[in-house]
């Protein structure tokens, strides 16, 4: 049984899988760019992570989840956003090697900009401002009603999420990770703004996003319950995800002998020789 959606021109059905060309072109473009970078360096197992990120992006932005989230269930939209921020973005960052990025970072006009924008204070601010702004009812509802704006919303989410993960997963010591204690504090603080946004959504006493209220009902979920579930999805799984990563970072910190330097944290991704080389260049 198919259920007509509001503005996607698609229908919700277990037997249909809608594909949106804009997402396909973007994913193919990233794949081509990645392969071009791979040809300039020695291939590594990181490619599996990068393509896993692209595959997750495809299934998050197409098919059943897209049809549900685009104009039917707000809670499905929250699942989509969490996939982009907490799964796709870190996989893309982990899938890129230092050798691929170093020639770009070495460019005179890129290096200072890259250093500025990957500062932990700025990545924290950029991510949380982007997430908070796009969940304000005026912007969120406008994006739902205008598909090109919706595309911009997702691009901004993805870009801000890549930056957010940089102080934890950076593959290049020229744009270094935080120390292990710094990573844990950063991730803990990162969970707080998301919790605030989640509480604002979950405990709202009215419908914040009216388009979902006018959609056909499935699974007998009322609009208010859908909004509550969406807020709880961002709050509980999102928060637990950060705490899980904090636990992993703590474990790696102990395995490294409690080293609390930024260079020590970078060794998890690069050889110690590469770290020392990059530090000498930076000096």
pLDDT higher than threshold 90 for residue 114: yes
- Chain segment 6-28, per-residue pLDDT in tens: 444 445 666 678 899 999 999 99
Distance CA 81, CA 87 (A): 10
Mean local confidence (pLDDT), 74-98: 96
pLDDT higher than threshold 70 for residue 89: yes
pLDDT of residue 4: 39
11 — phi, psi (to 5°)?
-135, 150
Q: How confident is the model at residue 161 (pLDDT cuts 50, 70, 90)?
A: very high
Q: How confident is the model at residue 234 (pLDDT cuts 50, 70, 90)?
A: very high
pTM of the predicted model as reported, rounded to 2 decimal places? 0.87
Mean local confidence (pLDDT), 154-170: 97
pLDDT of residue 256: 83
Task: Quote the mean pLDDT of the chain.
Answer: 87
Count of structural domains, the chain? 1
Mean local confidence (pLDDT), 200-226: 91
Mean local confidence (pLDDT), 192-214: 94
pLDDT of residue 162: 98
pLDDT of residue 267: 58
pLDDT of residue 265: 73
Name the residue range of residue 194's domain. Answer: 3-282
- Chain segment 247-278, per-residue pLDDT in tens: 999 999 988 887 766 766 775 554 443 444 44
């Amino acid at each position: 049984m198919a259920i007509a959606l509001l503005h996607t021109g698609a229908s919700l059905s277990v037997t249909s899988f809608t594909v949106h060309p804009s997402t396909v072109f973007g994913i193919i473009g990233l794949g081509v760019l990645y392969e071009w970078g791979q040809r300039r360096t020695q291939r590594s197992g990181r490619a599996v992570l990068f393509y896993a990120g692209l595959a997750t992006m495809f299934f998050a932005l197409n098919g059943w989840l897209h049809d549900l989230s685009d104009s039917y269930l707000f809670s499905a939209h929250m699942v989509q956003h969490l996939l982009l921020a907490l799964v796709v973005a870190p996989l893309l960052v982990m899938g890129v090697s230092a050798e691929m990025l170093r020639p770009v970072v070495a460019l005179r006009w890129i290096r200072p900009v890259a250093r500025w924008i990957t500062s932990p204070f700025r990545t924290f601010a950029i991510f949380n401002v982007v997430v908070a702004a796009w969940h304000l009812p005026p912007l969120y509802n406008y994006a739902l009603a205008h598909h090109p704006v919706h595309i911009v919303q997702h691009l901004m989410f993805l870009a801000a999420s890549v930056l957010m993960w940089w102080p934890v997963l950076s593959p290049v010591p020229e744009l270094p990770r935080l120390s292990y204690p710094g990573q844990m504090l950063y991730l803990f603080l990162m969970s707080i703004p998301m919790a605030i946004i989640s509480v604002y959504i979950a405990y709202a006493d009215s419908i914040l996003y009216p388009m979902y209220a006018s959609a056909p009902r499935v699974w007998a979920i009322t609009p208010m319950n859908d909004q509550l579930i969406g807020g709880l999805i961002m709050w509980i799984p999102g928060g637990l995800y950060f705490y899980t990563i904090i636990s992993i970072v703590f474990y790696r910190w102990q395995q490294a002998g409690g080293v609390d330097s930024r260079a020590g944290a970078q060794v998890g991704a690069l050889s110690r020789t590469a770290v020392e080389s990059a530090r000498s260049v930076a000096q």
